[in-house]
Structure 1
Amino acid sequence: MFGLFYWLIVCLTDCGRSKFKSSRIVGGQDALAGEFPWQVSLHVKNTGHVCGASIISPTWLVTAAHCWVWPMSEDVTLCREHQSETASPVLKRNLKKVIPHPNYNSFTYDNDIALMELNSPVTYSDYIQPVCLPAAQHSFPVGNMVWITGWGATREGGFAASVLQKAQVRIINQTVCDKLMEGQITSRMLCAGVLTGGVDACQGDSGGPLSYPSGSRMFLAGVVSWGDGCARRNKPGVYTTVTKFRGWIKEKTGV
């Protein structure tokens, strides 16, 4: 049992389904309440939003390992009716367990993934639902569109967003991305972005989902990990590839 805990705000049973249909966009815009019901905001007491996470079951969340450098705060709060950080809480939880990947490298951000267990389950609704986990053999084709969401900065060096933001980006070829990122991309990383710049995850979005639409469902393709600045030309965002850790997630969570 941890002596300190994170605040979690889930603003937002069938995985990967949304109450709303997402419109296609190029730049970021406000998400609707319930549009990404697996999106979680990790809060540090007296600091506010620091990272994102994704619901994968009533008791388990997926986030980035590098988010756990923050001291954990006391409450886990789930907001149902609004996407704003200031929405009135309707549920509260404490953390039971946090499991960063044992091979996480804080210098290279390789294996940048962590699991978080709540002390009691959440109740699913139109506003709180899990994202689907892909099978280990699932592939996400280069060029396909994916969704990034979060309360992170809306520009490099800016302040966190007050309302959940959403944007669409494309999956980038691994070899191309490795060249653009100067050889820092490992086999456990996935790149996505708009190479002309202008759309990207940014500070505060770390740990959040890279959601891949397939039919009427969304799958957790990646976890927001790192990048060279925010939305720079020829500098895509880098994500932890969830399929590479499917066995580990199953072993630790049963999901």
Structure 2
Amino acid sequence: MRIPFEITILLILCLHNKSYKCHAVHVGCGTRPRKRAKIVGGTDAQAGSWPWQVSLQMERYGHVCGASLVASRWLVSAAHCFQDSDAIKAYMGMRVMNSVSNAAATRQIRRIVLHSQYDQFTSDYDIALLELSAPVFFNELVQPVCIPASSHAFTSGTSCFVTGWGVLSEEGELATLLQEATVNIISHNTCNKMYDDAVTPRMLCAGNIQGGVDACQGDSGGPLVCLERGRRWFLAGIVSWGEGCARQNRPGVYTRVIKFTDWIHQQTKGQVQPLRLSLLVMI
């Protein structure tokens, strides 16, 4: 495995200074510079809280889906968002939906790469990569989220966050302010019982079994992120599907990102580097 440049520098610093304890970090991804230590049932997010959140918009429709920034010129979203061939723009660093002028960066989409095995009937392999027309520069409002290695495990019961501008209730209006909500990872077996075995190994369930909190229309393609060791945020899932919104025993179903780590790396020609938590451990 090729070690990213930032990690190489960190290795050198650690090896030459025995007084420091070194941990696995990837400089740049998964950080929230503006954050000091609708989603249905969520709350308004503060500016800079989720700097990898992207709004994908079509000229005719406005906001259609969410996405996550994973590198300076690459986004990850859901394949089902791209049934329409209309031109799409990506807005980054934005909090207020009705004011696109407040976006920290705007880019045209140069290319959309849908997974070749995507099945629109079962929602299996529901993932897409979007190449931006030009790279974006990272700042306190625009940062990439970390892509987990294929060996990474998001444990059942882990509390994570889903974000987006989707409707605030079934058949409701899109959110004006970016929403955030806490959801828990639900085991594959438990979720499959609730969905009659429709949940494939490429899917991940998260939410509250009692209902009340969930992603909804307009959140599709957006991020489900979990805070891991090293205080970095990792992309665990991509908003994919569910029965209704925030219903009891009908949690949200997400594309399981760890199943696509190699695909993402290959399609971006190494521009997106998955991060292994155990890459650097020294006492």
Distance 1:77 1:167, change over 3 A: closer
Partner of 1:92: 106
Matched, 1:119 2:133: yes
Distance 1:189 1:74, change over 3 A: closer
Partner of 2:191: 177
> Shift of residue 96 of structure 1?
1.4
8 Å contact from structure 1 (residues 44, 71) kept in 2: no
8 Å contact from structure 1 (residues 44, 70) kept in 2: no
> Shift of residue 92 of structure 1?
3.1
Structure 2 unpaired stretches of 5+: 1-26, 273-283
Distance 1:125 1:136, change over 3 A: same
Aligned equivalents of 2:220 and 2:104: distance in 1? 25
Greater shift, 212-221 or 165-174, is seen at 212-221
Q: What pairs up with 1:198-209 in 2 under 5 angstroms?
A: 198-209=212-223
Task: State percent identity of aligned pairs.
Answer: 49
Corresponding residue SS for 1:56: strand
Partner of 1:128: 142
Structure 1 unpaired stretches of 5+: 1-12
Q: What pairs up with 1:36-51 in 2 under 5 angstroms?
A: 36-51=50-65
4+ residue segments displaced more than 6 Å: none
User: Counterpart of 1:112 in structure 2: which amino acid?
Assistant: D
TM-score, normalised to structure 2, is 0.81
Q: What pairs up with 1:151-166 in 2 under 5 angstroms?
A: 151-166=165-180
Corresponding residue SS for 1:158: coil
Aligned equivalents of 1:192 and 1:77: distance in 2? 26
Distance 1:55 1:17, change over 3 A: same
Bigger Rg, structure 1 or 2: 2
8 Å contact from structure 1 (residues 56, 62) kept in 2: yes
TM-score, normalised to structure 1, is 0.90
User: Counterpart of 1:99 in structure 2: which amino acid?
Assistant: V
8 Å contact from structure 1 (residues 27, 168) kept in 2: no
User: Counterpart of 1:217 in structure 2: which amino acid?
Assistant: R
Aligned residues: 238
Aligned equivalents of 2:104 and 2:239: distance in 1? 27
